[in-house]
Every structure is written in C-alpha cells, then in structure tokens.
Amino acid sequence: MTDLAARAIQAENTLRQRDLARMKGIAVGLLGLAACLYVVGKWLAWGYLAAFAEAAMIGALADWFAVVALFRHPLGIPIPHTAIVTRNKRTIANSLADFVVGQFLSAEIIGQRLKRFDAARHLSQWLAVAEHRHKVAGYLNQAVGYGVQSLDDRRIHDFIAQAARNKLQQIDLSAFMADGLALVTQGRQHYKILHGGLNRFADYVENAENDEKITAFIKGWSENAFVQSMIEPFVPTIRTAVVNKLRAAAEDENNGLYLEFDEQIKSYVARLQQDPALQQWVSDKKNSLLNQAEFGQHIESLWNQFRDWVVLDLSHPESVISGKLTQLVGELEQHLADNEQLGNWLNEQIQSALIQAANANKGLVGDLIREEFGNWDDRYMVNRLELYLGRDLQYIRINGTLVGGLFGLAIYAVTQLVAG
C-alpha cells in the first residue's frame, strides 16, 4: 500500500471516529434530556410529560443494551447472548464468505452484469477521445520499457537461454530441415539460389582486385615452374572463359548443373526424412551445439541487443515503438466502432474470462474472507466493525428514545381515557 493510500485511509477513519463520537453524544444527550424531563414531569405532576420521558428512558436504555450487546458485554457483565459478534466470529466469517461468493461471484450475476455493461462499446467510446488514446499508448510505452529493463537480471538471462534450449531440443531438426528444403524446391525457388551463387562466383573471378589470387590459383594447377610460366600468359583467357561459362550456366536452367542440383536437394530431403543415421547425426550436432556455453552467451547477447534497442528507441521523441503502439490503439478504437462482430467477440471473451476467473477463484476468495476475518483479534474486530457500523447503529438508540417516548405517551393517554 502506498503512503498516499495509507494517509487517505487514516483520514477516512478519523472522520468515521468523529461521526461515531458525535452520534453517540446525540444518543446520550437524548437520554439525559429524557431523564431531565422525567424529573420535571414528576416534580410538576405533569403526567403526560413524565410518561413520555419515562418510556423514552426505557427505550433509550433498552436499545443501548441491544447495540452494545452486539459487540461487547454491557457494563462488562457476561450476560448470556451478549457480545454476539465475538462469540460467533467463525459463524459470521463463514456466513459472510458464503454471502460474498454466492451473491457477487456467481457466473449468472457476472454474466448478466457484463451483458448489460457492453464493455466493447464503452471501450470504443472511451478510446474515441484522443487524450485517452495517448494515455493508453503512454501506459503501454512505460510497460514495455519497464518490462525489458526489469528482465535485466542474470537469473532471467539464464531462464531465457534454458527455455530456448529446451524448446529447440524438442524440435525434430531433421524433419524441419526436410520440410524447409521441400518448400524451397516448390516453384524452383532453389534455382534462384544456384543462379545467384554462379553469378556471384563469376563476379569474384572477374573482379580485378582478385587478379593475384586467381593467377596464383590457376598457376597452382601444376607444381612445375616451367609449366606455370607457360600457363601464366593464358590466365586472362582462362578467366574470361570461366566467367562466360559460369554466366551461361547461370542463365540456362535446363543444363545438367541445375538438374544435378535439383536431384541433390531432393535426395537430401529424402535422406532427412528416411535415413535414421543421418537423422541421429543431425540430432547429435544440434544437441552438441545447444549444450555449449557459447549458445547461452549468444542468446544473452541477442537479448541484450534487443533490450538496448528498445530502451534507446523509447527514449527518442520519434520512437518507432511508441508510434506503432499509438497506431495500434487508434486502429483498435476504429475497429471496435465499425465492426459489431469484433465488439461482440470482445464482450464474449471478457465475459468468459471473468466468469472462468470467478469460478476458479471464488473458493479462494471465500477462504480468504474466512481466514482473515476469523484470525482477527476480538478487540480489533469489534473496533473495526463499530467504526464502520456504529454510526448508523446509534440511530437505533435515537429512534428507540423517541419512539419509546411516543409509545409511553400513547399508553398513558389511553389509560387516562379509559380511567375517565
């Protein structure tokens, strides 16, 4: 609980104590007034006044007894059936828990309330105000920033790495690779890979910056110095022929190179799907990689890079994340306003979630009430209940004084009338 909330509760309790003391003073004052009127009535022999005052005192004292008996023994005397609340604390706790759970957490009541409320419509109307949209986007920004920074902990890093490791260990990498390669071969997508590779290789051979490397490579075909000297003048011609051959091969998808590449891919897909030895080899390599310390370090490095990017982006006035979140909130408002089916779906999801939460936790709520109420110290419980209920209970004493006096006056009047 924050200091501000604690101060607010303390101020409210102080006000309740003042009201309780004031109402007790009024009730006692009326009792004192009735006593004075009784003395005056007897002294002046005013029968009607004395009858009113006498009955008023009886009513005041009787209702004082009734109110006090709820919480304590009147005058400290252990009269039977007094201090009702403290003697029946467990029973009251059980009854209160059953009442709250039955009357506030039942699926029927929650469902009926939510149907009348129409949360989607209220949310749409609220988000229609630009200030509210910016406020929600701001909260989301803060939540994202706080979330990524709060996860900057070695235990979190280890958890993320272990979670990634466990998830990857569950993956059948052979089947995954086979499906991926099969997908690539659809529509000859793998031909684009070979086409690009051949052209990149041709560019490398053709690049003048690689003259020394290419010349050394071609001369290296023979270890004989004389043969190398004979080859060197033909190096440019050989390079040109190789480049032309590579580019021609890249443009002709019907040549043997493409067909051989296609067969190799399909053969490897079949082996990944059917060859236990290859599947075991892939699995062993995967597990070996996952069990290396470098894997955890790599995951941590990726997470740190992501976290730093998020924090840096959110610190900029033109934040990409902030812009996307603001746009997302605006789109949500527009969709809720224009799409009735979306609104109905959202209402159904909210209703279902709250009902499930209530059904799953109403037992916990009931147990919490029973345990908390039942474990209260008797004095503390009496003081709390009297603080919250005592002010209104003083009206019983006040009404008892006035109504008792009126009944006493009426009885006295009838008696006088009958007596003639």
Residue 30 lies inside a defined structural domain of this protein: yes
Check whether 230 has a pLDDT greater than 70: no
One domain, residues 174 and 283: yes
Mean pLDDT, to the nearest integer, of 338-357? 85
Which of 27, 21, 103, 14 minimizes the C-alpha distance to 394? 27
CA torsion sign for 356, 362, 365, 371 is: negative
Q: Which of 94-103, 105-114, 324-333 bottoms out in mean pLDDT, i.e. has the lowest?
A: 105-114
Q: Residues of the chain with pLDDT > 70: what percent? A: 92
Mean pLDDT, to the nearest integer, of 93-119? 81
Domain that holds residue 74: 13-87+377-419
pTM above 0.75, yes or no: no
Check whether 227 has a pLDDT greater than 80: no
Which of 205, 185, 175 minimizes the C-alpha distance to 261? 185
Report CA 227 to chain centroid distance, whole Å. Answer: 77
One domain, residues 281 and 383: no
DSSP characters for 179-190? HHHHHHHGGGHH
Residue 237 lies inside a defined structural domain of this protein: yes
Domain termination site, one of 252, 268, 291: 291
Q: Going by C-beta distance under 8 Å and a sequence separation of 6 or more, which residues neighbour residue 188?
A: 253
Mean pLDDT, to the nearest integer, of 318-328? 85
Domain termination site, one of 291, 315, 339: 291
Residue 160 lies inside a defined structural domain of this protein: no
Mean pLDDT, to the nearest integer, of 132-147? 85
Residue whose pair of structure tokens reads 């290419």 in the numeric block? 214
State the Cα–Cα distance between residues 265 and 257, nearest whole angstrom. Answer: 12
Check whether 190 has a pLDDT greater than 80: no
Check whether 36 has a pLDDT greater than 90: yes
What is the pLDDT, as a whole number, of residue 220? 63
Q: Are 357 and 31 in contact (CB under 8 A)?
A: no
User: What are the counts of helices (DSSP H) followed by strands (DSSP E) for the chain?
Assistant: 19, 0
One domain, residues 279 and 173: yes
One domain, residues 172 and 283: yes
Residue 326 lies inside a defined structural domain of this protein: no
What is the pLDDT, as a whole number, of residue 407? 94
pLDDT in tens, 52-104: 999 999 999 999 998 888 888 888 888 888 878 777 878 888 888 888 888 88
Check whether 31 has a pLDDT greater than 70: yes
Q: Residues of the chain with pLDDT > 90: what percent? A: 14
> Would you tell me how many other CB atoms lie within 10 Å of the CB of residue 273?
15
State the Cα–Cα distance between residues 71 and 390, nearest whole angstrom. Answer: 10
What is the pLDDT, as a whole number, of residue 32? 94
What is the pLDDT, as a whole number, of residue 310? 84
Which of 251, 171, 246 minimizes the C-alpha distance to 204? 246
Residue 372 lies inside a defined structural domain of this protein: no
One domain, residues 180 and 275: yes
Check whether 217 has a pLDDT greater than 80: no
SS3 252: coil
Mean pLDDT, to the nearest integer, of 245-272? 79
Residue 371 lies inside a defined structural domain of this protein: no
- State how many domains the chain has: 2
pLDDT in tens, 271-319: 888 888 888 898 888 888 888 878 778 877 887 888 888 888 888 878 8
Q: Which amino acid is residue 380, in one-letter code?
A: Y
Q: Which of 29-38, 210-219, 224-233, 396-405 bottoms out in mean pLDDT, i.e. has the lowest?
A: 224-233
Mean pLDDT, to the nearest integer, of 157-176? 81
Q: Are 79 and 65 in contact (CB under 8 A)?
A: no
Residue 344 lies inside a defined structural domain of this protein: no
How many angstroms separate the Cα of 389 from the Cα of each of 62, 71, 237? Answer: 19, 11, 106
Domain termination site, one of 291, 306, 333: 291
Q: Which amino acid is residue 59, in one-letter code?
A: G
DSSP characters for 262-317? HHHHHHHHHHHHH-HHHHHHHHHHHHHHHTSHHHHHHHHHHHHHHHHHHHHHHTST
Check whether 263 has a pLDDT greater than 60: yes
106: left (phi over 0), alpha (psi -120 to 50) or beta: beta
Residue 114 lies inside a defined structural domain of this protein: no
State the Cα–Cα distance between residues 283 and 279, nearest whole angstrom. Answer: 6
State the Cα–Cα distance between residues 104 and 106, nearest whole angstrom. Answer: 6
What is the pLDDT, as a whole number, of residue 398? 92
